[in-house]
């Protein structure tokens, strides 16, 4: 692997020209795992997947399998799902309830229960311990590797392997205010959302960045969704595929890499985004929520947003539909996409049912809008792998030079509605991270020549 790639040649964000190698090259992909994923805050799940003590949910961080768990003592923890003995996955389930994880290969077992071990994840059971190790095996040293940084932010759970990582709040910056729109209640109550249903997981043959940049602010691809608009998959008749909105702006955060299609902060009364659902009970429910929102936010600066990406691989839809997505890297040209759906905590069953059906016809492997995008991303990837195709750079010049600071938003920059400004911000951040050694590269890594 060459560490001496010319990242300035690969990403010329000033001129909006980016190499296709970013989307197909295996060496760059391997380097991303160390330099982007091993030092970034990554969404690993939602508190709603582990509501009770000893609940666990198996997730991923970059290309590593991890176990997210709420311990018996109520601490939220993340462990590498790989046995320190010979690497077997100690947990083969997607989710469940356990304080003890027994490796299926040679039977070492590990506990997260502080009443039984000094250090959560510690090795607690070793077959033939006396006979084979003279009872001398260091059970703390050979416990499950634990992720040092884990934060529950309004139910969304984030983790970062880098011991020197900045706090999540600094990492998110003012993009956090837009994430809040997804995680708060529709009435503006902090963290007033909960999960609806399970986690959708499916694979797409494309690079993870192709997905992340789309959700970071690509309003320009609206032509792709004409069929979903014509089919009127939205909640209101005659309104296309989603609630009508005034034209959003690409708002991004240089240096952080995040961005979305959003509105600048305002102290005006909040927009009423609810359409006519053609159902008096549901209309009354949403009117009541909006009334509460107007009261809760009166005179306060607030934001609104449709869709955004938190660098590197977390995206969210904050309005309708409303969901959190993680784009897990699988290979240079494959991802595993996860979607979790959100509703307000007190949503009546009838409204939940309406939303569940809407979310499914919009998003996920069977969703019409998602299907449009998956077709684009798959074909983009196929057409960028040939000897000639991979050598033709991509054009990211839409809205070039239109970047302007946003009042009331720390570090926020807007660049018009139809703009690739957020993608340029995303790839600048990617380049900065890729040019600096990752936090674990000094630990003697054979892949990188130590
Ligand atoms: S690989 Fe887990 S006990 Fe051997
Ligand atoms: Fe799309």
Q: In whole angstroms, how far apart are CA 46 and each of 27, 193, 347?
A: 32, 11, 18
Bridge partners of 95?
Answer: 57
Can you say whether residue 269 is alpha, beta or left, with left for phi > 0 and alpha for psi between -120 and 50 degrees? Answer: beta
Which residue's CA is the closest to the ligand 1 atom numbered 3?
Answer: 106
Domain boundaries, the chain: 42-133, 172-434
CB-CB contact of 431 with 13 (8 Å): yes
Which ligand ends up closest to the CA of 221?
2
Half-sphere exposure of 54 (CA within 13 A, CB side): 10
Mean pLDDT of 146-168: 98
Q: Which two tokens stand for residue 55?
A: 């609940």
Q: What is the C-alpha separation between 212 and 231, in angstroms, rounded?
A: 26
Q: Check whether 447 has a pLDDT greater than 60.
A: no
Q: What is the pLDDT of residue 444?
A: 59
Mean pLDDT of 178-194: 96
Q: How far is CA 442 from the centre of its chain?
A: 28
Among 89, 120, 115, 116, smallest CA distance to 102 is for 89
Written as one string, the DSSP assignment of 255-315 is TT--EEEEEEEE-SPPP------S-HHHHHHHHHHHHHHHHHTTTS-EEEEEEEEETTTEE
Q: Check whether 306 has a pLDDT greater than 60.
A: yes
Per DSSP, the three-state class of 61 is strand
Name which residue leads in pLDDT, 229 or 42.
42
Distance 130 CA to ligand 1 centre (A): 17
pLDDT tens digits along 32-67: 999 999 999 999 999 999 999 999 999 999 999 999
Q: What is the C-alpha separation between 425 and 172, in angstroms, rounded?
A: 14
CA-104 nearest atom, ligand 1: 2
Which ligand ends up closest to the CA of 211?
2
Question: Best of 65, 88, 104, 142 to mutate for ligand 1, by most ligand atoms within 8 A of CB?
Answer: 88
Q: What is the C-alpha separation between 317 and 311, in angstroms, rounded?
A: 15
Mean pLDDT of 252-273: 94
pLDDT tens digits along 66-116: 999 999 999 999 999 999 999 999 999 999 999 999 999 999 999 999 999
Name which residue leads in pLDDT, 241 or 25.
25
pLDDT tens digits along 377-416: 999 999 999 999 999 999 999 999 999 999 999 999 999 9
Q: What is the pLDDT of residue 103?
A: 98
Distance 219 CA to ligand 2 centre (A): 8
Which ligand ends up closest to the CA of 144?
1
Show the CA angle centred on residue 305, arms to residues 296 and 245, nearest 5°. 95
Q: In whole angstroms, how far apart are CA 38 and each of 238, 324, 336?
A: 46, 21, 18
Q: What is the pLDDT of residue 275?
A: 87
Owner of token pair 């003592």: 73
Q: What is the pTM of this model?
A: 0.96
User: At 442, is the pLDDT very low, low, confident or very high (cuts 50, 70, 90)?
Assistant: confident
Q: Which two tokens stand for residue 32?
A: 């991303």
Which residue's CA is the closest to the ligand 1 atom numbered 4?
Answer: 106
Ligand 1: lining residues by beta carbon, under 6 Å: 83, 85-88, 103, 105-108
CA-103 nearest atom, ligand 1: 2
User: At 449, is the pLDDT very low, low, confident or very high (cuts 50, 70, 90)?
Assistant: very low
Q: What is the C-alpha separation between 315 and 335, in angstroms, rounded?
A: 14
Question: Best of 83, 84, 90, 110 to mutate for ligand 1, by most ligand atoms within 8 A of CB?
Answer: 83
Positive or negative, the CA dihedral 189, 190, 192, 198 is positive
* Cβ-proximal residues to 388 (8 Å cutoff; 6+ apart), any chain: none
Distance 280 CA to ligand 1 centre (A): 59
Helix and strand totals (H; E) in the chain: 12, 22
Q: Work out the mean pLDDT of the chain and round it to a whole number.
A: 95
Q: What is the C-alpha separation between 119 and 110, in angstroms, rounded?
A: 10
Q: Which two tokens stand for residue 146?
A: 């634990």
User: At 206, is the pLDDT very low, low, confident or very high (cuts 50, 70, 90)?
Assistant: very high
Show the CA angle centred on residue 25, arms to residues 22 and 30, nearest 5°. 95
Per DSSP, the three-state class of 89 is coil
The dotted CATH code for 172-434 is 3.90.380.10
Per DSSP, the three-state class of 129 is helix
Q: What is the pLDDT of residue 243?
A: 78
Q: Does domain 42-133 have CATH number 2.40.30.170?
A: no
Q: How far is CA 86 from the centre of its chain?
A: 30
Q: Check whether 448 has a pLDDT greater than 60.
A: no
Which ligand ends up closest to the CA of 224?
2
User: At 445, is the pLDDT very low, low, confident or very high (cuts 50, 70, 90)?
Assistant: low
Q: What is the pLDDT of residue 2?
A: 47
Owner of token pair 């904050």: 318
Name which residue leads in pLDDT, 274 or 254.
254
Q: Which two tokens stand for residue 191?
A: 């963290």
Question: Best of 84, 85, 128 to mutate for ligand 1, by most ligand atoms within 8 A of CB?
Answer: 85
Q: What is the C-alpha separation between 337 and 371, in angstroms, rounded?
A: 13
220 secondary structure, DSSP code: G
Q: Percentage of residues in the chain with pLDDT exceeding 90?
A: 90
* Cβ-proximal residues to 285 (8 Å cutoff; 6+ apart), any chain: 348, 351
Q: Which two tokens stand for residue 106?
A: 């040679």
Q: What is the pLDDT of residue 450?
A: 33
Q: At what angle do helices 368-382 and 349-362 cross, to 10 degrees?
A: 30
Owner of token pair 């260091």: 138
Q: What is the pLDDT of residue 3?
A: 61
Distance 367 CA to ligand 2 centre (A): 11
Written as one string, the DSSP assignment of 24-52 is H-HHHHHHHHHHTGGGS-EEEEEGGGS-S
Q: Check whether 1 has a pLDDT greater than 50.
A: no
């Amino acid at each position: 692997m060459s560490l001496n790639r010319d990242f300035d040649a690969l990403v010329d964000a000033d001129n909006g020209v980016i190499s296709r190698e970013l989307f197909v090259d295996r060496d760059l992909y391997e380097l991303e795992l160390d330099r982007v994923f091993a030092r970034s805050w990554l969404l690993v799940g939602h508190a709603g997947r582990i509501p009770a003590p000893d609940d666990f949910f198996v997730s991923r961080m970059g290309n590593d399998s991890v176990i997210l768990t709420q311990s018996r003592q109520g601490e939220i923890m993340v462990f590498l799902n790989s046995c320190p003995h010979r690497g077997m996955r100690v947990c083969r389930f997607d989710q469940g309830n356990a304080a003890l994880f027994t490796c299926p290969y040679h039977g070492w077992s590990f506990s997260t229960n502080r009443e039984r071990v000094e250090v959560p994840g510690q090795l607690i059971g070793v077959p033939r311990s006396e006979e084979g190790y003279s009872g001398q095996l260091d059970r703390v040293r050979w416990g499950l590797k634990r992720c040092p940084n884990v934060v529950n932010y309004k139910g969304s759970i984030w983790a970062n392997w880098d011991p020197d990582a900045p706090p999540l709040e600094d990492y998110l910056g003012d993009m956090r205010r837009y994430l809040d729109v997804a995680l708060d209640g529709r009435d503006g109550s902090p963290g007033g959302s909960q999960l609806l249903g399970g986690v959708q997981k499916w694979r797409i043959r494309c690079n993870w960045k192709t997905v992340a940049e789309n959700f970071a602010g690509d309003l320009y691809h609206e032509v792709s969704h004409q069929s979903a608009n014509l089919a009127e998959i939205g909640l209101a008749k005659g309104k296309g595929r989603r609630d009508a909105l005034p034209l959003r702006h690409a708002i991004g955060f240089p240096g952080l890499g995040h961005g979305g299609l959003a509105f600048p902060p305002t102290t005006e009364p909040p927009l009423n985004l609810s359409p006519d659902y053609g159902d008096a009970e549901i209309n009354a429910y949403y009117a009541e929520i909006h009334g509460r929102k107007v009261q809760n936010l009166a005179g306060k600066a607030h934001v609104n947003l449709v869709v955004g990406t938190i660098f590197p691989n977390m995206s969210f839809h904050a309005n309708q539909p409303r969901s959190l997505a993680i784009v897990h890297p699988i290979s240079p040209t494959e991802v595993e996409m996860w979607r979790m759906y959100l509703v307000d905590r007190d949503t009546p069953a009838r409204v939940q049912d309406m939303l569940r059906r809407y979310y499914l016809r919009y998003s996920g492997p069977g969703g019409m809008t998602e299907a449009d995008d998956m077709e684009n991303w798959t074909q983009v990837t196929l057409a960028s792998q040939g000897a000639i195709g991979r050598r033709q750079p991509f054009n990211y010049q839409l809205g070039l030079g239109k970047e302007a600071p946003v009042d009331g938003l720390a570090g926020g920059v807007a660049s018009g509605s139809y703009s690739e400004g957020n993608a340029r911000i995303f790839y600048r951040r990617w380049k900065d991270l890729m040019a600096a050694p990752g936090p674990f590269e000094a630990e003697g890594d054979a892949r990188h020549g130590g």
